[in-house]
Each structure stands twice: as C-alpha cells, then as structure tokens.
Copies of this chain bind each other. A is one copy, B any other.
C-alpha cells in the first residue's frame, strides 16, 4: 500500500521505449494492492499500471500469473492484460526489480457493497471459475489449510493472547476442528483466493475489473467462494453480517457456476477456514510490523469476528 521503489520519470520514459505504447505524459506513484510498487502511467496513447514486484511476489510465479490472465482475457473476463514489449516479452526488469506494464482498467472499489454489487461480483467470480475449468496452470497455495498450524506457531507462544486474551485457545480449537472437517473430495481449480472488494473494480453495479491475482493458486474451488463471502458480507470490523449481501453474492455465483450440494455443505467449514487464514496472517503481520511502519497493519480481530459468526451460523449458505 505504498511506493517502495522510486522510479524517476526519466527511467519510466526510457522503460516505455521498449513498448509500442506512445510516450510518457504523466506518472504518479499510487498506493494500491499488495506490497508492490505501482505507478499510474499515462502515455500519448493510453493509460497503464506499471508494477514493480517487491518481496511478497516471487518472480518465478510471474509466468503463472501472466498465463492465467491471458487465459481469462481470452474468455472475456474483465482482467487487466499485461502488455508485451516490441519483441513479445511481458516480464521486464526495472530498477533491479521484476516489472510489468499492465493495462489500466476504469472502475472503483467499493467499501460497503450493496446487494446488487455483491450479486455482480458473485457472477464475475462464477464466470472466472467457468473460464478456468480448462486452464492447465498450477500453483501451490502457500497459505493453504495445511500451513495454518505452523503459521499460528510462528506467531509466538504468547503473542496471540496479547492481541486478545484467550485467542490462542480459540485458534487451537479451530485448527483441530478444521483438521477434522476440512473437505478432501471437493473439486480443485485455480482460484483467485483474495477477492476482497479492493480487488474488484465496478461502475454502476457492473464489474469492470478483477485485479491483484498475486495470491491466485490451485485449491478447492468453493474455498474461493468462502474467501469472497468472508471479504464481502461483513462490516470492515467483522461485527455486522449483511444477510442481503450474502444472499446476493451466493445467488449470483450459483447462477453462473452451480454450487453442488457438496460445495454448499462445505461452505461453513471453508468460510471458517478463510476467516482463520486472514486472522492468522493479519496477526502475524500485526506482531511483526512496527505500529508506525510504511505498511498499514490490518486488525486481526476483524476476522476473529467473522470466524465466530461462521461458527455460530452454519446455516447461512442454505439459501
């Protein structure tokens, strides 16, 4: 959410000569996305996002992301294509970092989604899953269910309780519950795995862009629905569940990509898993990030609240 690598206008001008995109008219560092450096670039021809990949994105994963985006774009999903240079190369080097020039997409990210917006997002997620059924790329989920116990341990022996008294016990019991109930037979697919409202661009209740694919990976397909549900159907602090938004999201998705009885039955445990995953990564970052650092720390409690809601309301997906 900051600009980590400062690229001068002259360096950007020079970088753009590799492409057939016109010459530089404006360049602004933008606060966007995961921990990459992003510039909103305007040329004499068009607008682009220039992304420099910082430590959280492994350059070895870039070919997977590019192939996935090309596949989705070919099937008319609203994803931002990465631009090829004059000799066909998309993964560039700039200021010592891996870098890509990406088409700019209009649209805004909502903070408090309406049911209509959630329905459109559910449909867009379903269309993305449809488009990915014949995608052969694979990428392990570095944040999958098997990693959560170790992540909880890595938070340290007393740190979870320092965030909230009793949190360690909640986490331990939930890890046990998930180990006993995590579905083993559901369909696997490449998924987005991080479809928060920040990563959906909208205009007039229409989805104009799905962005920030840097957590996308191979995992249980319905887990993507669970992540999106946890991200969209609560107030930011997780204290208020919005039943209308929830119903719209699930209905929109199901209309495009049918949720099987098995998917639907698994959604409560998948949503508990999604809540625990974001609670743990936020807790880890909270513990390991100084309060005044460049990165804004996100409150882990917001996902503890979601976890508790899903524990107490397993029936909400039966709509």
Interface residues of A (CB under 8 A from B): 2-3, 8-10, 12-13, 24-32, 40, 42, 106-112, 203, 290, 292-294
Report chain B residues within 8 Å CB of A3.
31
Select one of B24, B106, B108 contacting A9, CB under 8 A.
B108
Given contacts A8-B112, A13-B108, 12 further A-B pairs with CB under 8 A are A2-B2, A2-B31, A9-B110, A9-B111, A10-B110, A10-B111, A25-B107, A25-B203, A26-B108, A29-B31, A40-B40, A292-B293
- Find out whether the CB atom of A29 lies under 8 angstroms from the CB atom of B27: no
Q: Please give me the residue from chain B that is nearest to A209 by CB atom.
A: B26
A29 to B27, CA, bound (A): 13
User: Knowing A42-B106, A106-B42 touch, does A29 contact B30 (C-beta < 8 A)?
Assistant: yes
- In the complex, the answer to whether B27 meets A28 with C-beta atoms within 8 Å is no
Query: Looking at A106, A108, A109, which has the most chain B CB atoms within 10 Å of its CB?
Result: A108
* Contact residues in B for A110 (Cβ distance below 8 Å): 8-10
How far is B30's CA from A42's CA once the two chains are assembled, in angstroms? 14
19 pairs of residues in contact across A and B, judged by CB atoms under 8 Å? A2-B2, A2-B31, A9-B111, A10-B112, A24-B108, A25-B106, A25-B108, A25-B203, A26-B107, A26-B108, A28-B30, A28-B31, A28-B40, A30-B30, A30-B40, A42-B106, A290-B292, A292-B292, A293-B293
In the bound complex, residues from chain B placing their C-beta under 8 Å from that of A108 are 9, 12-13, 24-27
When distances are taken between beta carbons in the complex, the residues of chain B under 8 Å from A13 are: 108
Min C-beta distance of A100 to chain B, whole Å: 17
A13 to chain B, nearest CB (A): 8
In the complex, chain B residues whose CB is within 8 Å of the CB of A294: 2, 292-294
Residues of B within 8 A of A12 (CB): 108
The list of the 8 closest CB pairs from A to B, nearest first, reads A8-B111, A9-B108, A29-B31, A28-B30, A3-B31, A25-B106, A26-B106, A292-B293
